[in-house]
Structure 1
Amino acid sequence: MSHHRRVAMKQSRKQQSFVGVRSRILAWYFLLTASITFVSVYATYKIFCDSTQKELGGQLQRDIQAFEQSSVQPSNPEALTQAIQTFSSRQVSTPNRYLLVFSKGQILHTPQSAQFVQNNQAVLDRWKQLPENAPQQLDGYLVSVMRPLNGQPGRIIAVHDATMQYHMAELTLRLVVQVTLVGLILFSAIAWLTAGKILSPLRQVTETARNISETDLTQRLSVQGTDEIAELTLTFNQMLDRLQAAFTSQQDFIKDVSHELRTPITIIQGHLELLGDDPEERRETIALVRDELKRMNRFVSDLLLLMRIERPNFLRADHYDVATLTEEIFAKAEALADRSWKLESVGTGEVFCDRQRITQAVLNLAQNASQYTQKGDVIAIGSAIVEETVRFWVRDTGEGIDLDDQARIFDRFARGSNSERRSEGSGLGLSIVQAIIKAHQGHIDLCSRLGEGSTFTITLPLRGTH
């Protein structure tokens, strides 16, 4: 990797660290936590203000009612002032709470409220016109107005100066907000570092994905722990395993196809280069070329068939009678070669399958059996219904298959190690059979011994899944 590329990747990672998943998660968490905190603090402040107003307002109401119900019967302003002073000294002992009487243009009050009256003369002039009401916020004070005692003209006003309480509440609110912001910033810094460690496997996934190429699929991530990140890492490694297997299979497939096509092409090219003027020789060469071209055509057709098998609409399934299907397959198989053919068993019932594809699969097995048997050997075909499955089998008394070869007999272009291949086909017959059976959600089993023959058994779900 070049120096410029490494520098560019480092710069890219730095940019991603500020706009990546970690930043977005922390940003949303910060906003959500801050919003919840501020809303909670503001709601607490409002609840405090409302409860304070309700509590103090009740006290003001009780003061006015108690003053109205007192036995004092003042006949002049001086007597009324004395009555207010006497009542306030006995009943109104809370600081910042005053009892005022507006009577005949005068403001009667106690010495404790003199400073308040002097500092709020303009406000008190407005309060003279207030109608009777419940406690309310006016000009920054909590005020309650009622009629004076004994039905005299004027107003009785109870005032509570709660500005200090509200001011302390506001200071507390600001302090809580400041502490919360500092705490969120510190927590975000810690969370930033922690999230970096937690998300480090994701960066390893990205780095590994960058370094993967078609020629190097061997890199894997180290799995640590059992959490979601570890599960993601394990899944990524499994994906790499599948990709490596797929690329390896693809490369082997291309090599095998190249080998299979190279042979007939070489044969055709060699005979055409040596073609002379003799008519008989020309006819033989043309016949040979045609035969090789037919073999190549069958090979390409088989490859196309394997590709079509993976499509969802490959099968055209329906309900078919098992006995009728078995007898049709046996009748076609008898024409494949001069062998001792035997219809061994016929199942009774219906199966949901693609009739043509199942026929093709069983006939491929029969053709394969005929290639590895000799005249007089037995090839038996049968079917049976076992529980919820239907089974088709092809049994022969030929040379059998070596145990080491049985594990790879269904691979493309596989050849047995115990005998020379007699088939003139493409080498894809058993691969096509297996692919057709898998498309039916079934499976195929092989039982074989050298010198005793082989039995291929196809098992399909009776009702199918299509």
Structure 2
Amino acid sequence: MTRPTWSRLTVRQRLTATIALLTSVALLAVGGTLYVLEARRIDRSVDSTISQEIGEFRTLRAQDDPATGKPFTTAERLLEVFLERNLPDPDEQLFAFPADGRPSYQGEYDARLQRSTQFPALVERLSTTGGAETLTIDGHEYRVAVQPIAVGSSTSSFVVVHDVAASRAPLRDLIVTYVLLAALSVIVVAGVASWSAGRLLSPVRRLRETAQGITDGDLGGRIEVTGHDDLSDLQRTFNAMLDRLEAAFAAQRQLLDDAGHELRTPLTVLRGHLEVLDVDDPEDVAATRALLLDEIDRMSRLVDDLLMLAKARRPDFVRPRPVDVESLTLGALERARALADRRWVLDAVARTTAPVDGQRITQALLQLSENAARHTEVGDEIGIGSRTHEGRLELWVRDSGPGVDPAIAPAIFQRFAQGEDAREGFGLGLSIVSAIAEAHGGDVVLDDTDTGATFRVRLPMEGATCPGS
């Protein structure tokens, strides 16, 4: 199906066409309004001029004949004196229409008017009642006013004719000039609008070009942002989206690499034992079965840990809500007691409410507690506590074990980072703790201590109530 012509235009062309159209409509409205107002002013001026001529004629009629010093005795004489004394205005003619004979006039000769049969007919029709009417001859407009005259037994008509079309000629010339200038203005406005639209939409064009250059394996393209307007904000949002996508893809690749690397060893173990299995030896079958089940449990735990780290990138990984930190700390301590036979103690408790995901924070504390239990012996002390410090909530797990090897301390929170004395696990526990802390907008740190190890989770306290320590 063919799209409408308008929808096939680019945004720049649409903006240019819309601005040009609006400008044209505005100029047309202004020009039309000016023409109507000026035409009405000219019509009022014509009527005023005609009224003035009629008034002057009536004034003369009330006076005496200058030749005799007595009142005028005939209408013809009155008209003759008036025409001798008065010169018509431009585009105006003064006529004397006697009852009998040819009419006389004062003013420039107008062949169209005086050869017309419509003009004498109109004068004859108004010679009794008088009045003014508009007369159109061959598309040319006149304003005709007739004043009947009766002096003694003689009757005549005084006629004032104004060429309205000629009076409007300067207005028409002005409108023609206005139209030409308006058309030129529309062209200039359209050009400037097209240039401005191109400048304004250049960020969108760069965004499109960057998006087209992005492939499955390359998310490194970014837009250089220089402005501070809405389109610049769109570019920044686009760059931020690419950052998130790149981080997500990197996490996926790392997950696949980690899973492939770590699962290869137990799979090799499974294959090797199955290949040398003596199916006729019940003891060998039982031992191999126990070993394989143990390796499968390890692989299941590894997969669960990797999935946990992958979910940490999701926005719904944590669901913060107001949580009582004292109850959270005591609950984590009670759960940790079941992990190993250690001397579990409560170091401190923060009596406050904080906006955190209680389940995830408990998971992080238990992960740290399990890590501490693996590196301590029976009778060693493990402490759990919480406090508010410098506007943050801190929760920690400490132990009295051998501490962290300084060689691996800088990379302790990376995936699969383990010390040489690690007896079990995959080195993902601290990575999970770090992911939980980062999902809350915080972090986890290893304190510099002389004895044992202290891991501290630091979380922001926005929205916290009832501060305490």
What's the TM-score, normalizing by structure 2? 0.77
Q: Find the counterpart in structure 2 of residue 141 from structure 1.
A: 141
- Counterpart of 1:39, as a letter, is A
1:98 correspondence with 2:98? no
Separation of aligned partners in 1, 2:222 and 2:460: 38
Computed over aligned residues only, the root mean square deviation of the Cα atoms, in angstroms, reads: 4.0
Q: Find the counterpart in structure 2 of residue 454 from structure 1.
A: 454
Q: Report how far residue 87 of structure 1 moved.
A: 4.6
Q: Report how far residue 344 of structure 1 moved.
A: 0.9
Q: Find the counterpart in structure 2 of residue 8 from structure 1.
A: none
Q: Find the counterpart in structure 2 of residue 257 from structure 1.
A: 259
Q: Find the counterpart in structure 2 of residue 34 from structure 1.
A: 24
Separation of aligned partners in 1, 2:387 and 2:314: 29
Separation of aligned partners in 2, 1:396 and 1:389: 23
Mapping of residues 261-300 of structure 1, within 5 Å: 261-276=263-278, 277-300=280-303
Question: For 2:114, which of 103, 112, 118 is the aligned residue?
Answer: 118
Separation of aligned partners in 1, 2:31 and 2:149: 43
Q: Report how far residue 85 of structure 1 moved.
A: 0.5
SS in 2 for 1:275: coil
SS in 1 for 2:217: coil
Separation of aligned partners in 2, 1:183 and 1:355: 68
Write out per-residue CA displacement over residues 347-371 of structure 1, whole angstroms, 9 at most, x where no aligned residue.
3344555443332221112112223
1:433 correspondence with 2:433? yes
What residue ranges of structure 1 are gaps of 5+ in the alignment?
1-14
Q: Report how far residue 159 of structure 1 moved.
A: 2.5
- Counterpart of 1:443, as a letter, is G
- Counterpart of 1:126, as a letter, is L
- Counterpart of 2:117, as a letter, is Q
Q: Report how far residue 319 of structure 1 moved.
A: 5.6
Contact 1:400 1:449 in 2 (8 A): no
Write out per-residue CA displacement over residues 302-341 of structure 1, whole angstroms, 9 at most, x where no aligned residue.
3444555666666676665433332222122122123332
Mapping of residues 361-400 of structure 1, within 5 Å: 361-385=364-388, 390-400=393-403
Separation of aligned partners in 1, 2:442 and 2:338: 27
- Cα distance 1:259–1:40, how it changes in 2: closer, same or farther (>3 A)? same
Of 213-222 and 255-264, deviating more is 213-222
1:356 correspondence with 2:346? no
Q: Find the counterpart in structure 1 of residue 341 from structure 2.
A: 338
Separation of aligned partners in 1, 2:201 and 2:190: 16
Q: Find the counterpart in structure 2 of residue 84 from structure 1.
A: 82
Mapping of residues 157-306 of structure 1, within 5 Å: 157-185=159-187, 188=190, 192=194, 202-221=204-223, 236-276=238-278, 277-306=280-309
Q: Report how far residue 125 of structure 1 moved.
A: 1.3
The alignment covers a number of residue pairs equal to: 442
Greater Rg by CA: 2
- Counterpart of 1:112, as a letter, is G
- Cα distance 1:345–1:219, how it changes in 2: closer, same or farther (>3 A)? closer
Separation of aligned partners in 2, 1:218 and 1:282: 53
Q: Find the counterpart in structure 2 of residue 5 from structure 1.
A: none
Separation of aligned partners in 2, 1:396 and 1:42: 90
- Counterpart of 1:88, as a letter, is N
Contact 1:81 1:108 in 2 (8 A): no
Which structure dedicates a bigger proportion of its chain to helix? 1
- Cα distance 1:350–1:179, how it changes in 2: closer, same or farther (>3 A)? closer
Separation of aligned partners in 1, 2:173 and 2:17: 28
Q: State the identity %.
A: 32
Separation of aligned partners in 2, 1:28 and 1:310: 45
SS in 1 for 2:174: helix
- Counterpart of 1:31, as a letter, is L
Q: Find the counterpart in structure 2 of residue 64 from structure 1.
A: 54
SS in 2 for 1:424: coil
Separation of aligned partners in 1, 2:438 and 2:178: 68
Q: Find the counterpart in structure 2 of residue 444 from structure 1.
A: 443
- Cα distance 1:115–1:458, how it changes in 2: closer, same or farther (>3 A)? closer
- Cα distance 1:345–1:160, how it changes in 2: closer, same or farther (>3 A)? same
Contact 2:130 2:148 in 1 (8 A): no
Q: Find the counterpart in structure 2 of residue 6 from structure 1.
A: none
1:43 correspondence with 2:33? yes
Q: Report how far residue 207 of structure 1 moved.
A: 3.3
Separation of aligned partners in 2, 1:353 and 1:220: 34
- Cα distance 1:245–1:132, how it changes in 2: closer, same or farther (>3 A)? farther
- Cα distance 1:48–1:206, how it changes in 2: closer, same or farther (>3 A)? same
- Cα distance 1:314–1:195, how it changes in 2: closer, same or farther (>3 A)? closer
Q: Report how far residue 82 of structure 1 moved.
A: 1.0
Separation of aligned partners in 1, 2:109 and 2:202: 72
Contact 2:223 2:235 in 1 (8 A): yes
Q: Find the counterpart in structure 2 of residue 129 from structure 1.
A: 125
Q: Find the counterpart in structure 1 of residue 68 from structure 2.
A: none
Contact 1:67 1:87 in 2 (8 A): no
SS in 1 for 2:216: coil
Contact 2:413 2:434 in 1 (8 A): yes
Separation of aligned partners in 2, 1:404 and 1:236: 40
Separation of aligned partners in 1, 2:406 and 2:80: 123
- Counterpart of 2:337, as a letter, is E
Contact 2:376 2:400 in 1 (8 A): yes
Q: Report how far residue 203 of structure 1 moved.
A: 4.1
Separation of aligned partners in 2, 1:292 and 1:451: 37
What's the TM-score, normalizing by structure 1? 0.78
- Counterpart of 2:172, as a letter, is E
SS in 2 for 1:449: coil
Q: Report how far residue 40 of structure 1 moved.
A: 2.0
SS in 2 for 1:66: helix
- Counterpart of 2:445, as a letter, is L
Mapping of residues 309-348 of structure 1, within 5 Å: 321-348=324-351
- Cα distance 1:26–1:463, how it changes in 2: closer, same or farther (>3 A)? closer
